[in-house]
Chains A and B, each alone.
Chain A
Amino acid sequence: MEERPISDISYRQFLEEGKFMGSKCDKCGKVYVPPRHFCMECGSSDMRWHEMKGEGELAAFTCVFVAPPYMVELGYNRKNPYCTGVINLPEGTRMVARIEGVDASKPESIKIGTPMKVDFIKQGEGEKARTFLAFRPAS
């Protein structure tokens, strides 16, 4: 049984460990990711960690050509855009995540509805090294 507190901090720790974790309501079984303190279905605060399947389908996306400073630091810019999206998850919820394994410089080639699987990308050096949640096409 995972005893870490249900929190965004714990959620990010799991990502660093290569785990995509949500919270599941003990009363009604509803799953949330990122984790929630309270169940939006039944109001219960009895939440447990729940490992997500890591599967999904691309629901929306964008290819970012004008990047914020923290992404510029990672080497992204007008000539090297990145893709980020929204994934519909089989657990009945959605998540935002970086999209890997697609050509962000050719957005027309990226298709909504594409089956996706989870990935964890480590970027940055030293103290700035971080693991980002990502999804990539399943096949």
Chain B
Amino acid sequence: MSNKRKIGRGVAIVGAGMSKFGMFPDKDSKDLFAEAFSEMIASVDKGFDPADIQAAWIGNFSNDFFVHQAHWGPIIADLVGITPKAVTRTEGACASSTLAMRDGLMAIASGMYDIVLAGGVEEMSKCTTEEVTEGLALATSPYEGDAGYTFPGVFGALATAYFHKYGAGREHLMNITIKSHENAPLNPKGQFQQTIRDLMEARKAKAAKKGEPVPEWADEKEALFDPRFNPPVAWPMHLYDCCPISDGASCILMVAEEIAKNFTDKPIYIVGFGQGSGRGLHACPSLTSFEANKQAAAEAYGMSGLTPKDIQFAEVHDCFSIAELIHIEDLGFFGEGEGYKAIAEGETRREGRMPINTSGGLKCKGHPVGATGTAQMYEVWKQLRGEAGERQIPGRDLYIGATQNLGGTGGTCTFTIFERR
């Protein structure tokens, strides 16, 4: 059996929307999805009547746990007014809404539907940090839970293995954090809008106001090495290696290729998709790579006929800084053990050779887990259409972008390639 898969008929994205991401005590999942849906409808260049949606898939990881409500499909269908049409919830931990897109992709490619909605939502901030830590840990492997692993703990362990194998250190992961925070002020929808410098100045001002000793840091890394500024969470993962707890929603409108131009003159085509599964730390073949990534990448590259060199920019799942580093190697953008050097040279910055996470990534944009997959696609949609505003990748004619989404601790990985023609 070969890895070569194909899409039965072409599928395009003709609309995309996302809510602002953040912590919103006064908004629930319906409010958040309504915000994303409204923007998506308004983004369809030639207009769109929501009644024309034929089916929907909604990614949600664990609102069951976070707000004690499950079965989000029909709730969202009712919200957007498509009841009694079919709507299905998809769950793949943090990759839930990419799986929603995948089901929509297969449904259109098969000929069963022509116009579908895919999206996701998560409402996490009404729990305490400890509760969220426990909720997310439900998606680790059971043996990891027994050994006291948290989510950041699993990625912390991968980081120690990577450091040991390739000679990298915390200072290299800091380059990822600093880069993401450079993009953050350019994304008005993101949870955090400050650079690390901004955050350092804010901390100094706070200390001065309180009459406490004002910290003196020579640069960002000195601050990030200071445990008062950047305390350990699961060593070597510190606060600034970890994405925040977030609320948010996102969605995309997907249609069959032959009708795409009825909606917009600038559709974004899905030309490659792959999904893989992975095992826990005790059984995975490598502690410096995700086997699910390799599978997903092989499928998506095979389907599209493209290679890593063809991808001009990507959103990857930086739930933790080390994850971004592993992904860009697994996907073939950089060689194994080479990613941290390329990052240090600025290659993944917005103006670099291979911009990664122009949105600010999960680190700064936020990570409402069920909403993240289609929110990554929202960024690629914006960039490919030249609509990313201040954070538009400069000086490049963009036509191929990609998203990589990870669920759990690598139990699910997806890779999706998008093209503007």
Closest approach, in angstroms, between the C-beta of B293 and any C-beta of chain A?
Answer: 18
Q: Is B280 an interface position by the 8 A CB rule?
A: yes
Partner of B160, one of A69, A81, A112: A112
Closest approach, in angstroms, between the C-beta of A103 and any C-beta of chain B?
Answer: 12
Flag A47-76 by CB within 8 Å of B: 1 or 0 each.
000000000000111111111111110001
**Cross-chain contact A94 with B283 (CB below 8 angstroms):** yes
In this complex, what residue of A is CB-closest to B287? A60
**Cross-chain contact A107 with B153 (CB below 8 angstroms):** no
Q: Which of A11-69 contact B (CB under 8 A)?
A: 33-34, 59-69
Closest approach, in angstroms, between the C-beta of B22 and any C-beta of chain A?
Answer: 21
A97, B143: Cα distance in complex, Å:
8
Q: Name the A residues within 8 Å of B148 (CB-CB).
A: 64, 67-68, 71, 76, 82, 84, 98, 132
A103, B144: Cα distance in complex, Å:
20
**Cross-chain contact A96 with B147 (CB below 8 angstroms):** yes
**Cross-chain contact B231 with A78 (CB below 8 angstroms):** yes
Q: Name the A residues within 8 Å of B130 (CB-CB).
A: 66-69, 72
Q: Which of B92-145 contact A (CB under 8 A)?
A: 129-131, 133-134, 137, 142-144
Q: Is A6 an interface position by the 8 A CB rule?
A: no
Partner of B164, one of A67, A68, A112: A112
**Cross-chain contact B150 with A66 (CB below 8 angstroms):** yes
A63, B236: Cα distance in complex, Å:
8
Q: Is B23 an interface position by the 8 A CB rule?
A: no
Q: Is A116 an interface position by the 8 A CB rule?
A: no
In this complex, what residue of B is CB-closest to A112? B164
Residue among A63, A66, A78, A81 with the highest chain B CB neighbour number at 10 A? A66
A94, B262: Cα distance in complex, Å:
55
A60, B142: Cα distance in complex, Å:
18
In this complex, what residue of A is CB-closest to B163? A112
Q: A8-B142, A69-B134 are in contact. Are A95 and B282 (CB under 8 A)?
A: yes
**Cross-chain contact A107 with B235 (CB below 8 angstroms):** yes
Q: Name the A residues within 8 Å of B146 (CB-CB).
A: 96, 132-133
How many pairs of residues, A versus B, come closer than 8 Å at their CB atoms? 116
A107, B158: Cα distance in complex, Å:
14
Residue among B131, B146, B156 with the highest chain A CB neighbour number at 10 A? B146
Q: Is A118 an interface position by the 8 A CB rule?
A: no
**Cross-chain contact B237 with A62 (CB below 8 angstroms):** yes
Flag B305-345 by CB within 8 Å of A: 1 or 0 each.
00000000000000000000000000000000000000000
Q: Name the A residues within 8 Å of B152 (CB-CB).
A: 62, 64, 66
Partner of A62, one of B131, B153, B283: B153
**Cross-chain contact A86 with B281 (CB below 8 angstroms):** yes
Q: Name the B residues within 8 Å of A97 (CB-CB).
A: 147
**Cross-chain contact B149 with A96 (CB below 8 angstroms):** yes
Residues of A in contact, count (CB < 8 Å):
35
Q: Is B168 an interface position by the 8 A CB rule?
A: no
Partner of B149, one of A33, A66, A69, A84: A84
**Cross-chain contact A61 with B131 (CB below 8 angstroms):** no
**Cross-chain contact A98 with B134 (CB below 8 angstroms):** no
Q: Is B303 an interface position by the 8 A CB rule?
A: no
Q: Is B161 an interface position by the 8 A CB rule?
A: yes
**Cross-chain contact B234 with A64 (CB below 8 angstroms):** yes
Q: Name the A residues within 8 Å of B231 (CB-CB).
A: 65, 78
A26, B135: Cα distance in complex, Å:
39
Partner of B147, one of A63, A67, A107, A133: A133
Q: Name the B residues within 8 Å of A132 (CB-CB).
A: 146-148
Q: Name the B residues within 8 Å of A107 (CB-CB).
A: 232, 235-236
Flag B266-306 by CB within 8 Å of A: 1 or 0 each.
00000000000000111100010000000000000000000
Q: Is B82 an interface position by the 8 A CB rule?
A: no
**Cross-chain contact A96 with B150 (CB below 8 angstroms):** no
**Cross-chain contact B281 with A96 (CB below 8 angstroms):** yes
**Cross-chain contact B235 with A65 (CB below 8 angstroms):** yes
**Cross-chain contact A64 with B150 (CB below 8 angstroms):** yes
Chain A residues engaging chain B, CB cutoff 8 angstroms: 8, 33-34, 59-72, 76, 78, 81-82, 84-86, 93-98, 107, 112-113, 132-133
7 pairs, CB–CB < 8 Å, chain A vs chain B: A60-B281, A62-B152, A62-B234, A63-B234, A65-B233, A69-B133, A113-B164
List 12 additional A-B contacts (Cβ < 8 Å) besides A68-B133, A84-B157.
A33-B282, A60-B164, A62-B157, A62-B236, A64-B149, A65-B233, A65-B235, A69-B131, A69-B133, A72-B130, A81-B235, A86-B157
